[in-house]
């Protein structure tokens, strides 16, 4: 690590220290703070300090001001002895946590602003991080991502789908759910209810499988062939208003056909004749949803083709979550109103009722005063607050503190040395 990189990290830590000195009173403690484990990722060496516990928020705030971590976390679990080693903590239960992150959502913008370099052979690429290097097969990479507006909007869409499922299908009330912007590229949704606290990992996996639509079979949700008049085979299917996955399959199918282009239909491997037929009868197809769906009304579209369309519709309705986070009954989750080490933005609670209009690039800004002079190596065009910045390439600029810290935390800039 070069001297300049060390100086940049030290500078960022000093800014984080300034934040915690001035805003420690805004730190929002988790429910039953004394039964939670806390962990802190340190700037130096990226070491995780774990198995910490606090009796109250004042002790927690003092610790943040003293340690000044890059990132602060607390356990989704409740423990009898949270400061002990994992096997001696005595697990009492855990909240149900969902993490919706742009990293798990394929977006076209990823090929523009996300890059990776193999740590073994140095081959570089853009877009979604591969499981293994395509050149040498090693799984270790140096990755650079970016929290753009397209990424955050994609994460919001997935979060809205999740919220709808939790309310309509699982019956969780708004009082039992809390929604947060993570401070980086997504959202966290916490369910705090006695009904879920005792669930083990397998039970939580069942919830995950339902949400992401694992093992869905359209025929089990009403898409079946029946004998009609004169013994003719008639295809029937679910309606838009049906509850659970039946209705979701119908709505997903409708929304897909509403906007699908011939190339979209090609991607789900429909035959050319079927594609032509669907394209020609698009208006009739969509109009029939007002009655009982289009299933079987168009000659030339067989049952197998409708199943492919419905299956794709179901995939569109599933919510893309980080499955590991939800099934882990000991998970550490980011502490509310603390800073994210990759952006300098805050993790903040989001009002569920106003979520659709929520703007993370305005609401999560922690540093609202002053400017900084930095040297930017490479940064895409981005917005923070009401201002747009960049793109920058090997350029010295003076930016508002929040915008400069975002670039510094992302490793795309260095602090300008004052002579």
Sign of CA dihedral 230, 234, 240, 244: positive
Report the Cα–Cα distance between both ends of the chain, in Å, rounded: 22
| List 71, 95, 103, 322, catalytic entry | 322
Strand partners, 151: none
Q: Which of 387, 304, 402 is nearest to 346 (CA)?
A: 402
Compute the chain's Rg from CA coordinates. 25
Catalytic residue among 71, 101, 103, 114: 101
Q: How far is CA 205 from CA 96, 248, 303, 318, 418, in A?
A: 11, 20, 32, 15, 54
Buried b (16+ CB within 10 A) or exposed e, 277-306: bbeebeeebeebbeeebbbbebeebeeebb
Residue 95 annotated as catalytic:
no
**Three-state secondary-structure class, residue 96:** strand
Among candidate residues 99, 114, 242, 276, the one labeled active-site is: 99
Q: Is 101 a catalytic residue?
A: yes
- In whole angstroms, what separates CA 251 from the centre of its chain? 23
Question: Any idea what DSSP says for residue 152?
Answer: H
Q: Which residues of 340-376 are buried (b: 16+ CB within 10 A; e: fewer)?
A: bbbbbbbbbebeeeeeeebebbeebbbbeeeebebbb
Torsion of CA 61, 65, 69, 72, to 10 degrees: 10
Q: Which residue has the tokens 């503190």?
A: 401
Question: Angle between the 201-212 and 149-168 helix axes, to the nearest 10 degrees?
Answer: 110
Nearest to 151 by CA among 108, 212, 99, 117: 108
Residues belonging to the active site: 99, 101, 322
């Amino acid at each position: 690590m070069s001297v300049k990189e060390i100086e940049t990290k030290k500078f960022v830590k000093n800014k984080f220290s300034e934040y915690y000195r001035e805003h420690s009173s805004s730190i929002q403690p988790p429910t039953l703070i004394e039964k939670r484990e806390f962990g802190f990722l340190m700037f130096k060496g990226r070491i995780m300090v774990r198995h910490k516990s606090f009796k109250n928020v004042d002790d927690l705030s003092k610790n943040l001001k003293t340690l000044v971590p890059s990132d602060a976390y607390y356990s989704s679990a409740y423990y009898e002895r949270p400061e002990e080693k994992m096997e001696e903590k005595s697990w009492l239960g855990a909240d149900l946590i969902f993490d919706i992150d742009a990293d798990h959502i394929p977006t076209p913008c990823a090929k523009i602003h996300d890059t990776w370099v193999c740590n073994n052979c140095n081959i570089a690429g853009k877009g979604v991080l591969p499981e293994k290097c395509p050149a040498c097969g090693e799984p270790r990479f140096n990755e650079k991502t970016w929290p753009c507006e397209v990424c955050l909007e994609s994460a919001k869409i997935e979060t809205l789908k999740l919220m709808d499922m939790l309310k309509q299908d699982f019956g969780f009330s708004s009082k039992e759910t809390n929604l947060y912007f993570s401070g980086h590229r997504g959202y966290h949704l916490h369910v705090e209810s006695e009904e879920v606290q005792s669930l083990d990992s397998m039970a939580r996996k069942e919830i995950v499988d339902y949400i992401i639509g694992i093992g869905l079979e359209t025929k089990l949700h009403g898409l079946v062939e029946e004998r009609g008049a004169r013994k003719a085979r008639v295809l029937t299917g679910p309606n838009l208003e049906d509850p659970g996955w039946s209705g979701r399959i119908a709505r997903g199918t409708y929304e897909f056909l509403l906007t699908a282009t011939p190339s979209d239909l090609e991607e789900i491997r429909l035959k050319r004749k079927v594609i032509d037929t669907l394209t020609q009868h698009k208006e009739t197809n969509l109009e029939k949803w007002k009655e009982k769906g289009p299933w079987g009304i168009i000659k030339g579209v067989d049952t197998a083709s409708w199943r492919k369309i419905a299956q794709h519709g179901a995939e569109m309705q599933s919510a893309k979550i980080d499955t590991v986070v939800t099934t882990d009954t000991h998970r550490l989750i980011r502490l509310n109103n603390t800073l994210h080490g990759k952006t300098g933005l805050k993790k903040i609670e989001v009002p569920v009722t106003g979520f659709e209009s929520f703007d993370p690039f305005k609401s999560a800004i922690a540093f609202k005063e002053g400017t900084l002079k930095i040297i930017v190596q490479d940064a895409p065009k981005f917005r923070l607050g009401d201002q747009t910045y960049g793109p920058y390439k090997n350029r010295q600029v003076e930016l508002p503190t929040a915008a400069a810290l975002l670039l510094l935390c992302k490793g795309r800039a260095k602090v300008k040395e004052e002579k």
